[in-house]
Amino acid sequence: MWWIYALLSALFASLTAIFAKLGVVAVNSNLATGIRTIVILIMTWCIILSRGEAKEISSLSKQHILFLVISGIATGLSWLFYFKALQVGNVSQVAPVDKLSVALTIVLAAIFLNEALTLKTAIGAGLIIAGTFVLILK
């Protein structure tokens, strides 16, 4: 079932790139990111509240909160740089280069989470890295 959610994530990420590119034309990229963030915040909390999931906040440990805050900072920085890249670059180049994060995540998961790095996974990450360089180089 995980792969269905992953495919939906990829679909909406691609739509995000297209709509974001249209949204940052002649708009400050930080302002655009802020507006997007407010929409995400409202949408997510509506889902949490409608499903009665807010009560789970009390079960979070300090470690959970710390890592979620750090993840939020990383997400915010990623979005700010992504929107700036979309503002000055072509979406057909920015979006694929942004997906270099997939290869970086594979490497970081092996280092910090002790996840297995299989030959198949390493080859896939290598191809992503190679494809990124093809897109960057002129």
Q: How do residues 123-133 score in pLDDT, each as one tens digit? A: 999 999 999 88
Prediction pTM value: 0.83
Domain range annotation of the chain:
2-98
Segment 5-53, tens digit of pLDDT:
999 998 998 899 999 999 999 999 999 999 999 999 999 999 999 999 9
CA dist., res. 115 & res. 125, Å (int) = 14
What pLDDT is stored for residue 92 in this prediction? 87
The secondary structure of 3-58 as a DSSP string is HHHHHHHHHHHHHHHHHHHHHSTTS-HHHHHHHHHHHHHHHHHHHHHHTT-GGGGG
What pLDDT is stored for residue 10 in this prediction? 87
Question: Does the pLDDT of residue 84 top 90, yes or no?
Answer: yes
User: For the chain, what is the mean pLDDT?
Assistant: 93
